[in-house]
Amino acid sequence: MIARSGPIIRMTTSKLSLSSKAKLSDGNLVPRLGLGVYEMSDHEASRAVTWALEAGYRHFDCAEWYYNEQSVGSAIARFLASPNCRIQRSDIFYCTKLQSNNGYDAAKRSIAQSLKKCGLGYIDLYLIHSPYGGKKKRLESWRAIEEAKDQGIIKSCWGPLVRAERFDHPVIVELAKKHSVTPAQVLIRFSLQRGYITIPKSVSKQRIIENADVFGFELDEQDMQQLLTLDEYLVTDWDPIGDPSA
């Protein structure tokens, strides 16, 4: 997929499960639930990815900025090479991201380094991690990414937006009690029902399993409306709409 704005996914099935996928605008499929590895050490990332694979995850969200691409890729490769493994590389969706917009040549080097570090043969999704760098350098970065997609090194590409979290809000806590789940599970389920691709991060085996256990309950229309009213425009990092360097 190559797009900078507008809808990027559409539902492929009305019934959600760990194997549910969304279709990108270029036709490629992405698992709706994945594991994030932000701020994980190499050891933590390796363990978390292994536990996630064992729990049924097939989508892994990495980044040049996380400095653990090699450990994530190695953990995936080891799992695929294990005697009892019944899946193959094509069943895995590996995403990584460009650290900064420093122009065409820098982006080409970053793509090559990320590909070498992960050791998976290709990158399923390559993102521009932040909007900063100015319009000229962003466009140069994008040109390098488009070329890599044309070469088959990258399957899909896009520029992402922002992230946020609110686990302690009374409404979320109350909904968690209603459904006998955790606040995190409520938010993951809400995100999935909204049609989003959802990437929770954890270094805990129990929480990795728990984060995938969100398909045994469903938020009703009233639950969803309650959660939708909580929007506070809580931007926790950059806001590309207000990028001062645009």
Bridge partners of residue 28, in order along the sequence? none
Active-site residues, by number, are 66
How many other CB atoms sit within 10 Å of the CB of residue 43? 11
- CA atoms in the 13 A half-sphere facing the CB of 34: 24
Cβ pair 32, 193 in contact under 8 A: no
Query: Measured between alpha carbons, how far is 235 from 44 in angstroms, rounded to an integer?
Result: 27
Whether the CB-CB separation of 35 and 201 falls below 8 Å is answered with yes
What are the strands, taking DSSP E only, across 12-153? 21-24, 29-31, 35-36, 59-61, 93-98, 123-128
User: Where are the strands (E) in the chain, listed by range?
Assistant: 9-11, 21-24, 29-31, 35-36, 59-61, 93-98, 123-128, 154-158
203 contacts 241 by C-beta, under 8 angstroms: no
Asked whether residue 169 is marked as a ligand-binding residue, the answer is no
Q: Name the binding residues for substrate.
A: 129
Binding-site residues, in ranges, read 129
